[in-house]
């Protein structure tokens, strides 16, 4: 049995056919919708490219606040508000549909089949365009009263940089893909002939160029990534104090940096976490599914929903 998983983020929309083992096939990628009409029509267009008779459900992860009935009320990095995705997709395709926050679905994928397997409590931090979070306890996503997990909008610097949410000093202004984009542009402006500039030749510099330069061993790129990693660690230390999870999984596009990002984060945690010397260390690991975690989680959740409906009938 397979389902379609879709990750609708702040930069792009990715979809694929997901097996119950978490394998992704028949991948499709589209630019992110630019307006409310695109938010309605573009996911349908993506599903049409993937749907076959074997598909048993559709899962959509979206970077925003999603209600229990599958409506995205608002998202700081996506277009539109009050979009009833579950109803829209069900009416179009007559298949079981689940809609959830993308980071919740990423956390579910990692807890079920990925880097969080074997742990009762899994905290996920996803660094995409912005930053999202999800907490899975005993196999279930913790939701609070509905919108738990919006960790990117924890204030870490009162009066700091303006965030897309309209507030200042949010965590994601210091640790996210958007922050890496800005760092890349600044680095190339200061040194056009540096490694980041060479990789960005003919294009607008962004976090992908900085990330690749760091992986290549460029000293300036590694320094910039370490700065982001430090801020990542400061925020994670605050969450560990409150939640004390068994493992923290870091996902999103930056997860391919691996230890280049995670080592500075771990150093910052050691320097700022209350009671660090007497606590059992919390592993900080890269997502097994990388930036596909939300897509995989969406597919797995859709398959589970289809199975529940089939059993009930």
- CATH assignment of 2-106+291-312, given 3.40.50.620, 3.30.420.40, 3.50.50.60, 3.40.1710.10? 3.30.420.40
Q: 133-172 burial, b for 16+ CB within 10 Å, e for fewer?
A: bbbbbeeebbbeeeeebbbbbeebeeeeeebbbeeebbbb
Q: pLDDT grade, residue 243 (50/70/90)?
A: very high
pLDDT at 313 over 90: no
Q: Quick check: 220 and 196 in contact, CB under 8 A?
A: yes
Mean pLDDT, residues 230-247:
98
Task: Read off the DSSP letter of residue 155.
Answer: B
How is domain 118-287 classified at the architecture level of CATH? 2-Layer Sandwich (3.30)
Distance CA 111, CA 103 (A): 12
- Please determine, for residue 310, whether its predicted confidence score (pLDDT) is greater than 70: no
Q: What are 139-182's pLDDT values in tens digits? A: 999 999 999 999 999 999 999 999 999 999 999 999 999 999 99
Q: Kindly state the average pLDDT of the residues 123-141.
A: 96
Contact assessment for residue 4 and residue 310, using Cβ atoms and an 8 Å cutoff? no
Average pLDDT, the chain: 95
Mean pLDDT of 302-310: 75
Q: What is the pLDDT of residue 77?
A: 77
Structure tokens at 127: 């660094």
Q: What percentage of the chain exceeds 70 in pLDDT?
A: 98
- State the pTM of this model: 0.93
Q: Where in the chain is the domain with CATH 3.30.420.40?
A: 2-106+291-312, 118-287
266: left (phi over 0), alpha (psi -120 to 50) or beta: alpha
Cα–Cα distance for residue pair 271/290, rounded to 1 Å: 27
Over residues 172-190, the pLDDT tens digits come to 999 999 999 999 999 999 9
- pLDDT for the residue 309: 59
- The residue with greater pLDDT, 119 or 256, is 119
Residue-wise pLDDT tens digits, 6-17: 999 888 999 999
Q: Count CA atoms within 13 Å of residue 55 on its CB side.
A: 24
Read off the pLDDT of residues 18-64 as tens digits, 9 standing for 90 and up.
Answer: 999 999 999 999 998 889 899 999 999 999 999 998 999 999 999 99
Instruction: Report the C-alpha gap between 91 and 100 in whole angstroms.
Output: 18
pLDDT at 308: 59
**CA–CA dist 49, 109 (Å, integer):** 23
Question: What are 101's strand-pairing partners?
Answer: 62
In degrees and rounded to multiples of 5, residue 117 shows phi and psi of -60, 135
**Pairing assessment for the beta strands 55-62 and 65-66 based on DSSP bridges:** unpaired
Q: Give the C-alpha separation, 129 to 159, whole Å.
A: 21
Mean per-residue pLDDT for 293-302? 97
What's the pLDDT score for residue 10?
82
Cβ neighbors of 26 (< 8 A, separation 6 or more) are 16, 17, 50
């Amino acid at each position: 049995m397979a389902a379609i998983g879709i990750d609708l983020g702040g930069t792009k929309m990715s979809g694929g056919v997901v097996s119950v083992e978490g394998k992704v096939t028949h991948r499709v990628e589209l630019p992110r919708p630019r307006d409310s009409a695109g938010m309605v029509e573009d996911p349908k267009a993506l599903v049409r490219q993937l749907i076959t008779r074997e598909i048993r459900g559709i899962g959509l992860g979206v970077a925003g606040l999603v209600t229990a009935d599958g409506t995205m009320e608002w998202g700081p990095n996506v277009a539109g508000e009050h979009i009833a995705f579950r109803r829209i997709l069900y009416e179009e395709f007559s298949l079981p549909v689940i809609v959830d926050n993308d980071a919740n679905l990423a956390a579910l994928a990692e807890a079920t089949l990925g880097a969080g397997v074997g742990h009762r409590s899994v905290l996920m931090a996803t660094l995409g365009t912005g930053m999202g979070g999800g907490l899975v306890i005993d196999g279930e996503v913790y939701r609070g009263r509905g919108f738990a997990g919006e960790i990117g909008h924890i204030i870490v610097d009162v009066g700091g940089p303006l965030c897309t949410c309209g507030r200042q000093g949010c965590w994601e202004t210091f640790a996210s893909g958007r922050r890496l984009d800005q760092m890349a542009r600044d680095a190339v402006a200061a040194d056009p002939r540096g490694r980041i500039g060479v990789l960005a030749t003919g294009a607008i510099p962004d976090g992908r160029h900085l990330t690749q330069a760091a992986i290549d061993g460029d000293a300036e790129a590694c320094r910039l990534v370490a700065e982001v990693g430090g801020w990542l660690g400061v925020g994670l230390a605050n969450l560990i104090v409150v939640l004390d999870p068994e493992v923290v999984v870091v996902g999103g596009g930056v997860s391919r940096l691996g230890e280049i990002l995670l080592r500075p984060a771990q150093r910052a945690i050691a320097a700022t976490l209350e009671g660090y010397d007497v606590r059992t260390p919390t592993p900080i690991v890269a997502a097994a599914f990388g930036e596909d975690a939300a897509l995989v989680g969406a597919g797995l959740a859709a398959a589970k929903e289809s199975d529940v409906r089939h059993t009930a009938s």
